Amino acid sequence: MTIGTARAAGDLVLTGERTLPGIPDENYWFRRHEAAYRALLPFVLGAHVLEAGAGEGYGAQLLRDGGAARVHAFDYDQTAARHIRRRYSGLTVTRGDLQRLPYADSSVEVVANLQTIEHLHDQPGFVAECARVLRPAGTLLMTTPNRTTFSPGRDTPRNAFHTRELTADELTDLLAPHFEVQRRWGLRHGKRLTQLERRVGPLVEAQLTRSTDDWSPRVRAAVHAVRANDFDVDGTDVDASLDLVFVAVRR
């Protein structure tokens, strides 16, 4: 399957908890997530990968297509796990509690956890579980919304499905007992999106504060046209980034 060309899945409902491919009005968020996956592909080449929190499954398939030797797609949601089995080939799919991973100690080389930790109640426990299932010097790939820019000035997360959002320093501290951070990157709008926003206004605010029925034609056209390469992922001004993109190695 080619990422981004699939129809929206009939058995998964767009609720705001996870993004889904193939929905034009959801395209901005899908491409933003896809950009992070693509930036992290060099770290999964030839590896046995566990994606903890696979959601719809497009990311696990992208990791597999991008060079991982094996990918376990793991998610708590029964409907999501069933959907992944039906929709994507070449993946091992397991359902269970992310904070009690049903894998042996030192059994995988890479754990990928993209846009998931902000949903968990026991974040330190989950990080410890990631360390437990990773082999010595195994790699943790993690992305999460940057609290500084996603929920600025708020005591509670902007997204009702998030339990705790993190800044770059908070994520570094959370990982520190078990991991050494090797890459501390941020994802931000690239040149084309930055120029586009000068004409149509801030795209994130337009999507978070208005229903799709209230979008202007210019905002809708902009959302539908976003591509993964419209985002930059690097170590520049991480504190001002939209999403945190971390690569860490088990101590």
Read off the pLDDT of residues 106-144 as tens digits, 9 standing for 90 and up: 999 999 999 999 999 999 999 999 999 999 999 999 999
Give all domains of the chain, ordered by start, each with its CATH number.
24-189+233-250 (3.40.50.150)
Label the pairing between strands 231-234 and 179-189: antiparallel
CA dist., res. 107 & res. 65, Å (int): 21
The whole-model pTM stands at: 0.93
Q: How far is CA 179 from CA 101, 149, 158, 187, in A?
A: 18, 25, 28, 21
Read off the pLDDT of residues 67-80 as tens digits, 9 standing for 90 and up: 999 999 999 999 99
Read off the pLDDT of residues 182-230 as tens digits, 9 standing for 90 and up: 999 999 999 999 999 999 999 999 998 999 999 999 999 999 999 999 9
- What 7-14 contacts at long range (C-beta under 8 Å, 24+ apart), as own/partner pairs, is 9/56, 9/83, 9/87, 11/79, 11/82, 11/83, 12/56, 12/79, 12/80, 12/83
CA dist., res. 42 & res. 63, Å (int): 10
The angle, 0 to 180 degrees and rounded to 10, between the axes of the packed helices 217-225 and 191-200 is 170
Check residue 89 and give its pLDDT. 86
Check residue 2 and give its pLDDT. 34
Q: Could you tell me which residue, 14 or 231, shows the higher pLDDT?
A: 231
Read off the pLDDT of residues 53-69 as tens digits, 9 standing for 90 and up: 999 999 999 999 999 99
pLDDT above 90: percentage of residues in the chain: 87
Check residue 4 and give its pLDDT. 36
